[in-house]
Chain A
Amino acid sequence: MIVAALAVPFVVGLLLVLGRRFVSGRAAAWIGVAATTVSLVLVAAVWEGREGVSGEVDVAWIEPVGARLHLGLTAVSWPFALMTAFIAVLCCLWLVADDTSPALVGLVLVIGASALGVFGSLDALLLFVFFELALVPMWFVIAWWSDADRDVAHRAATRFLLFTVTGSALLLVGIVVAAVEGGSLELTALRPTAVAIVLITLGFAVKTPVVPLHTWLPDAHSSAPTVGSVLLASVFLKLGTYGLIVFVLPSDHLGVVAPYLAVAGSVGIVWSALACYAQDDLKRLIAYSSIGHMGFVVLAISTRSEAGLAAAVFGSVAHGVITGLLFFAAGSMKDRYGTTSMAGIGRGLYGRAPWLAATFVLAAVASLGLPGLAGFWGEVLSLRAAYDVGSVLTRPVAWTALGLALVGIALTTAYVVRAVRLLAQGEPSALEADRDLGRREVVVMGALVAVVVVLGLVPQLLLDLYGPVYVGVAR
């Protein structure tokens, strides 16, 4: 089943890219919706419970290297996979329009399938193949379908690609070192040495991104078309956090990198909040805010506690849906006003496009971690994990990070409130392009809003996967 969940979007995506001349954009998007829905249903149906591996497929692949085609979903990877498949469906739905290029739909499918492959792989080499597979299609999505100037988009896409492949080159060496030491490429059997852990952490830290390796992110996210931004933020960054969770978190040598991760993560929270406060471009603002959210996840990972693990997974999934929603909202504004500059869009959206404004504000406050919405639980569990220090950090480091994170939360509130004030509130300055949500936008954003609210009100849905310990915190 899991093979079909990967193969269906992948094959359909390739066919759409190759047969782009024979199909209209709208039809291509509907085909994409169908393929990704099949994939989503299969990923959901494959679940067998939190103990062990669901839907395991294990076939010999490259004997001399010890690599196997080993696929399966665990309690850690299933939420990621489910979120990826869900976002892919919404991206295809978003593309149901007349001016869509069929090739873009195809690339979105390929990227989604590759990301699913990363989450579904239980073999390090296979995971790496899927990890790289999505990069070139993403380059094309950013460079060719960008709304920005062609040169700017090219440069942003190239910088994204170069940063990521630098990371993945180090990651490859790290995997080799770990495989030579552990004698196996099975994710569960991998025993990275200290050197390997440093290399692997660097590799995923570029992708996550951890400050100061984040400089590729704002340009790439703001140059990409709406679906590209959504995929980058909701899915691509999760490849980084997922990698940290499965490779680095269980390692005996986490202590080597944990203090740096904790401090870099919490510095990232503060840094990104300050950067956000200075932004006028809405997409850049959302992009910078992602760095802060990833900071919480990285901080949680560095504690290696049960609460930390839950926080990391919950934080990643919540960021995926919330930031997806924010980028879709920004995309709606872009479609209307041709710009994402907050000054250009003007004030008083409550009066001009009430439902759009309400959706945006809901996403924004979810992003700052308002209790009752999805963003809250990831952050609070992460802070809790840092407060408890965990098994590898020392108290001074953990509490310094905790302090920085708390400052960051205050600053986050400030920039979110600023953005809400600049866009939603104030005297409406009506523009010709004012128009409330269309049917397609209602469906896409409605689905995301529902998930944000449900995850916020019933966090146990996800937290129950990780045992009873911190569900107490959540109740």
Chain B
Amino acid sequence: MTIPIDWTVAGPATIVLVGALVALMVDAFYPRRTWLGSGLPATVAGVVATAELVRGDATGTPFAFSLVVLVGTLFVVVASNVMNFENAMPPGEYHFLLMSAAAGALLMVGARDVVTLVVALELLSLPSIALVGLRQGDRDAIRAAWTFFLVSVVSTAVTLMGVSLLYGVTGTLDYALLGRALVDPAVPDGVVSVAVVMTVVGLLFKLGAVPFHLWVPDAYGGASVMVAGFLSAVSKAASLGALLVLLSVALPAAQDDWQPVVAVVAALTMTVGNVGALRQDDAIGLLAWSSVAQAGFLVAPAAVVSSSYALPAAAQYVAVYALANLVAFAALAVVLRLRGSTRLDDLRGMARNDPWMGVPLVMAALTLAGFPPAVIGLVTKFVVIRPVVDGDHVWLAIIMGVNVMLGLAYYLRLVVTLCERPVGEPYVSPSPPISVRFAKSTVLIGAAALVVLSAWPDLLLSHLP
């Protein structure tokens, strides 16, 4: 028996996995446990995999989502240098787990049958859980990892249940064959409805959609800041990509079953996330809840995946969202390292007394809010609402509009706090390691990319699917 391997999909993932193993080896045999030692192979693997992806002939949605995953991972790897010489974090394990999770994310986007999807989902989930709890001697981290683990196990179980039901009624697990089998009127409708909804649940969990959102604030708050950034950007992009492909290729025949569910979940997710974010006093908590809300915006085009606008819209939205979120998390990671706190009160006036970190944070918040001068954020809001209207879900579009407003309320609060006149001199760590500069440079590059995209949004919108 031969197993066909599509190297367009498997190539970048394999390179990333090799990078993970090399990172682990380097760390094992190179006794000075610095971040550069194991970070270098991880970085190289990220760059090579990206090059391989761009060189290869992948197109459309998988290409866009893989690109977001790879660039996001690369960003996280470089920005993680901010943790250099933090004794609690073991760099070798960190890079190994991070790259393994990234490989899982890549496979998830490329999956074309349900078993691959579930395996990839686990390959993404398990290292992520370990990453959350990796910080030694940190009780919060352990607790966060436990919550994450339990929710993850439950949702995987539900998904497996759904998958087995699907296999039971159709006799196949291949996306394309499933799509054809479900059209058959002999397939019992009731079972299909249950199976489809259960299958989708696992992916909604990874996206942090309501009602599976409660692990998000916990995990983001307990994990290291850059791990939270990874979860919010890379993991989310991969889950969304997998969800879109699953819905559009395998399950279009069962559209009537999942469409209302997904639409309602999207509406609830953005509302609950925004309301949660309104009450936060800590910038990381605020970003955690806001990324719950953003998950709602990400899921919304999935509800109307039959619209020709839907797939590009989701890809473009997730790209901008991931970039802005990573910039914000990286900036906060630097702030946490240098000042020891990310409470809003301690960030007051940062755009004035620390413009190199404060202004990118402002730009990221404005992009997430979809507010000029971050035109790209506004344009992607437009782009993501368009398929929803095109798919005749005007009610959902209106809820999205209201949520844009709710989001503005707290993003602008963050912006105003950052721009305010500072009270007193902030505490700044006297001797930050030089590698913090690497993290700073990623923040600046990311913010510069946001500025360029705002000046010319076509750059992204015309070139991503």
Contacts and interface: CB of A to CB of B under 8 A. Distances in A.
Contacts of B415: 136
Contacts of B338: none
B394 A169 contact: no
A143 B386 CA distance: 35
Given A136-B371, A165-B405, A176-B385, A65 B379 contact: yes
Interface stretch (B78-86, B87-95, B283-291, B454-462): B454-462
B123 to A, nearest CB: 33
Contacts of B458: 60-64
Contact of A64 (B375, B402, B412, B462): B462
A132 B371 contact: yes
Contacts of B404: 165, 169, 172
A170 B408 CA distance: 13
A125 B386 CA distance: 13
B336 interface: no
A133 B389 CA distance: 25
A60 B458 CA distance: 9
B377 to A, nearest CB: 11
Given A62-B457, A195-B394, A176 B382 contact: yes
A415 interface: no
Contacts of B416: 139, 143
B401 A161 contact: no
B382 A169 contact: no
A64 B462 CA distance: 6
Given A162-B405, A165-B408, A132 B378 contact: yes
Contacts of A64: 312, 383, 458, 461-462
Contacts of A213: none
B389 A180 contact: yes
A175 B379 CA distance: 12
Contacts of B461: 62-65
A166 B405 CA distance: 5
A169 B406 CA distance: 10
Contact of B401 (A67, A136, A170, A180): A170
A431 interface: no
A179 B397 CA distance: 13
Interface size class of chain B, counting residues whose CB lies under 8 Å from the partner chain: 20 to 34
B400 interface: yes
Contacts of A180: 386, 389-390
Contacts of A136: 371, 412, 415
Nearest to A110: B373
Given A132-B378, A133-B373, A176-B397, A65 B402 contact: no
Contacts of A125: 379, 382
A339 B433 CA distance: 55
B398 interface: yes
Given A162-B405, A177-B389, A180-B390, A65 B382 contact: yes
A175 B312 CA distance: 20
Contacts of A122: none
B449 interface: no
Given A169-B401, A177-B394, A129 B312 contact: no
Contacts of B312: 64
Contacts of B236: none
Given A129-B378, A195-B394, A179 B386 contact: yes
Nearest to A172: B401
A173 interface: yes
Given A61-B458, A166-B405, A176 B378 contact: no
B412 A133 contact: no
Contacts of B402: 166, 169-170
Contacts of A175: 382
Given A63-B461, A129-B372, A139-B416, A173 B378 contact: no
A64 B378 CA distance: 15
Interface in A153-183: 161-162, 165-166, 169-170, 172-173, 175-177, 179-180
B353 to A, nearest CB: 14
B283 to A, nearest CB: 19
A337 B389 CA distance: 55
A169 B386 CA distance: 14
B440 interface: no
A350 interface: no
A63 B464 CA distance: 12
Q: With a 10 A CB-CB cut-off, give which of B398, B408, B412 has the most chain A CB atoms.
A: B408
Contact of A173 (B390, B398, B457): B398
A128 interface: yes
A199 B462 contact: no
A169 B382 CA distance: 10
A180 B373 CA distance: 25
A138 B416 CA distance: 12
Which 10 A/B pairs are nearest by Cβ-Cβ distance?
A173-B401, A169-B405, A169-B401, A133-B372, A169-B404, A64-B461, A166-B405, A176-B385, A165-B408, A180-B389
Given A136-B415, A172-B382, A180-B390, 9 more contacts: A61-B458, A64-B462, A65-B386, A125-B382, A129-B375, A132-B372, A135-B371, A165-B405, A173-B389
Interface of A: 60-65, 67, 125, 128-130, 132-133, 135-136, 139-140, 143, 161-162, 165-166, 169-170, 172-173, 175-177, 179-180, 195, 199
22 contacts: A61-B457, A62-B458, A63-B458, A64-B383, A65-B382, A125-B379, A125-B382, A128-B378, A129-B378, A132-B371, A165-B405, A166-B402, A172-B404, A173-B394, A173-B397, A173-B398, A176-B389, A176-B397, A177-B389, A177-B394, A180-B389, A199-B401
